[in-house]
Amino acid sequence: MKTKPYFKSVGPIATILLTCLFASSTVNISQAQNGHISIEGSGEFGQKPIPVSLEGFSSEAAEVLKFDLTVQGFSFVTPDAAQYLIHGSDAGDVSGTVTDKFAKKVILSRGYNGANPRRQAHAFADDIVSTITGKPGIAQLRGSTAKIVYKTQPSGNGPGEIYIADFDGKNAQPITSDNAIVAKPAWVPGKLAIYYTSYARNNPDIFFHNLSTGQRSIIASYSGLNTGAAVSPDGSRVAMILSKSGSPNVWVCNADGSGLKRLTTGTEDSSPCWSPDGQSICFAAKINSRRRLAKVSANGGAVQALNTTGAPNPTEPVWSPDGKWIAFTSQTSEFDICVIPASGGESVVLVPGQNPSWAPNSRTLIYNHRLGNYHQTLSVLDVFTKQYKDCARATGSNSEPAWAR
C-alpha cells in the first residue's frame, strides 16, 4: 500500500478538522437494527484508517480485498493490532467472515458463487464495508463491478482512444477505434452511455455513445471548441464548453444537443460540473487574469467565485454526490488533488494528481498522476485517510477518469 507520508494540510481549519476527527473517530459502537455491530464514522478529513487483518485468501482475492478496502478507509495490520479480523478462502468460491475483536463476535459470515473469483471478492469487500460502516461499498454497481471510463494515449499526448474498465483498472477495453485525440469522457447517470470529446472529424466535437448498441451521434460540433461535457444528475441536460461566440464559455443543452443556451461570458472557462440537485454548475474560470473556481445557476445568472484558500490555480472541479464537497486540481510546481466545502473555503491538499472524479460514496476519488516523464496512471484515493492505490494500467498513458454512477 502506498500511503503518502506527509500531511500537507493548510491553515487553522485543517487543524480544527483534525481535532474534530480524532474526537469523532473514537469508535461509536451501536447496536444496528440487523443485529450487526456497526460503527458510525462521521467521515471527515484526517481520519485514522480502521485497522483490519486479512488471512486465508490467495494472492488475487487478497489483492482485490486490499485494494477495495484501502480506498474506503481501512488499513491492513497484524491480527494483534486489528479491530476486525477478516478470515476466509477462495479455494473454489470466495467465502469469509468478519470478527469484531472488541465485541468478540462474528459480524459477517458469507459465501459467494457465480461470475468469477475477482467479482466475488469485490462483492465480499462491499459486504465488509456495509457491515462495518453501515454505508454501501463502492466496488459494485447495478450488478457488476463498478466501472470507470477514461482516455488512453500511446504517448503522453496526441491521439488515443476512450477506454472502459473496472474501477481498479482491470478488464480494460477500448470502446473507440478512431486514432484521434479524445478528451473528457462523462457517464450518463444510471445508463450504459457516455459523452466524450473527439477530434475524429478534425475538430474537437462532443460525441454521444450508447455502449449497449454502439451507436454514436454528435451533439455539439460548432466552429471552435466543443468539449468538457458533463451530464446533469437526472441525465436530461449536458453542460459543456463552447467557443462559438468568441470565447470558451459554459453552455447547456438537452441530452440530444437541442435547446442550446449560453450560461457564462467570461474570458476563459473550462471543466463544468453539476451540483447533485441539478440546480448549479461549478466550473474553472479566469477572473482578473487569475484561475478561480466559480458557480452559476444551471438556468443562467450571476457568476459567483469560490474561495480555494491555500490551493492556487484551481481547475477541474467535481461536486461530491452528497453535495458537501468540491474536489479539484491545484497547480503549483506540480498538480495536487484538493477538496473544499461546496460553498468554498480552506482547501485540504490531498495527494499529487489531476482530474478527480467522485465515487458514489462521496469519500473515494479516482484521478490520474504522473508516472515518469511521459505517462499518467489512474489511482483511487480515500480522501478522509489519504490512502490511495494505483489502478492496473493496460497500456499507454491513462487520464481523465470518470466513475460510473
Partner 1 sequence: MKLNKLIFPLMIALTATLAVTGCKKGPTRMTQLYGRGQGGIGDGSGQPPTLNPGPQFPGTEPGPGTKDIPPGGGPTADWDPFMYNQDRSALAANTVHFKFDSAAVLDNEQSNISAVAAALSNQNLKLIIEGNCDERGTEEYNRSLGERRALALREALTKAGIDPLRIRTESFGKDKPVDPGHDEAAFAKNRRGDFVLCTPK
Is residue 34 involved in binding partner 1 (CB under 8 A)? no
**What part of residues 151-210 is at the interface with partner 1 (CB under 8 A)?**
156-158, 181, 183-184, 202-204
378 neighbors 391 (Cβ within 8 angstroms): yes
Q: How far is the CB of 195 from partner 1 (least distance, A)?
A: 14
Sign of CA dihedral 70, 111, 359, 39: negative
Q: Count the alpha carbons within 13 Å of 371 in the hemisphere toward its beta carbon.
A: 18
Q: What is the spatial distance between Cα 256 and Cα 75, in angstroms, rounded to a whole number?
A: 45
Q: Which residues contact 401 (CB under 8 A, 6 or more apart)?
A: 148, 149, 150, 355, 357, 366, 367, 368, 378
243 binds partner 1 (CB under 8 A): yes
Mode of pairing for the β-strands spanning 364-371 and 354-358: antiparallel
- Work out how close the CB of 340 gets to partner 1 at its nearest, in angstroms, rounded to a whole number: 17
Any contact of residue 268 with partner 1 (CB under 8 A)? Answer: yes
- Is 245 a residue that touches partner 1 (CB under 8 A)? yes
Indicate which single residue of 25, 70, 264, 271 sits in contact with partner 1 (rule: CB under 8 A): 271
Give the separation between CA 334 and CA 20, rounded to whole angstroms: 30
Residues 213-232, mask of contacts with partner 1 (x by CB under 8 A)? ---------xxxx-xx----
Contact 281, 296 (CB under 8 A): yes
254 in Cβ contact with 219 (< 8 Å): no
Size of the site for partner 1 (CB under 8 A): 39
Choose between 124 and 367: whose C-beta lies nearer to partner 1: 367
Closer by beta carbon to partner 1, 227 or else 385: 227
Q: Decide if residue 248 touches partner 1 (CB under 8 A).
A: yes
Residue 57 or 328: the one with the smaller Cβ distance to partner 1 is 328
- Phi, psi for 44 (deg, rounded to 5): -130, 170
We find the least distance from the C-beta atom of residue 283 to partner 1, in angstroms, to be: 10
- Considering only the stretches 45-53, 96-104, 134-142, 243-251, report the one whose residues sit in contact with partner 1 under the rule CB under 8 A: 243-251
* Min CB(225)–partner 1 separation in Å: 4
> Does 331 interact with partner 1 (rule: CB under 8 A)?
yes
* Residues 293 and 305: beta-carbon distance below 8 Å: yes
What is the pattern of x (binds partner 1, CB under 8 A) and - over residues 54-73? --------------------
Alpha-carbon gap, residue 357 to 317, rounded angstroms: 9
At a CB cut-off of 8 Å and minimum separation 6, what does 76 contact?
1, 51, 52, 53, 54, 66, 69, 70
Residue in the block written with cell 468478519: 98
* Stretch 342-371 residues interacting with partner 1 (CB under 8 A): 354-355
Q: Pick one of 100, 127, 316, 382: the residue that binds partner 1 (CB under 8 A).
A: 316
Q: Which three cell numbers stand for residue 18?
A: 483534525
Q: Closer to partner 1 at the Cβ: 73 or 272?
A: 272
| 3-state DSSP assignment of residue 261 | strand
Binding to partner 1 by residue 288, rule CB under 8 A? no
Stretch that binds partner 1, among 60-68, 111-119, 263-271, 377-385 (CB under 8 A): 263-271
CA 151, CA 141: separation in Å to the nearest integer?
21
Among 241, 252, 293, 337, binds partner 1 (CB under 8 A): 241
DSSP 6: -
Is position 385 an interface residue for partner 1 (rule: CB under 8 A)? no
* Position among 119, 400, 403, 404 found at the interface with partner 1 (CB under 8 A): 400
Tell me if residue 62 falls in helix, strand or coil.
helix
What is the per-residue DSSP string for 293-327? EEEEETT----EEE-EET--S-EEEEE-TTSSEEE
Considering only the stretches 162-170, 171-179, 239-247, 378-386, report the one whose residues sit in contact with partner 1 under the rule CB under 8 A. Answer: 239-247
First CA to last CA distance, the chain: 26
Residue ranges in contact with partner 1 by CB under 8 A: 156-158, 181, 183-184, 202-204, 222-225, 227-228, 241, 243-248, 267-271, 284, 291, 315-316, 329, 331, 335, 354-355, 373, 399-400
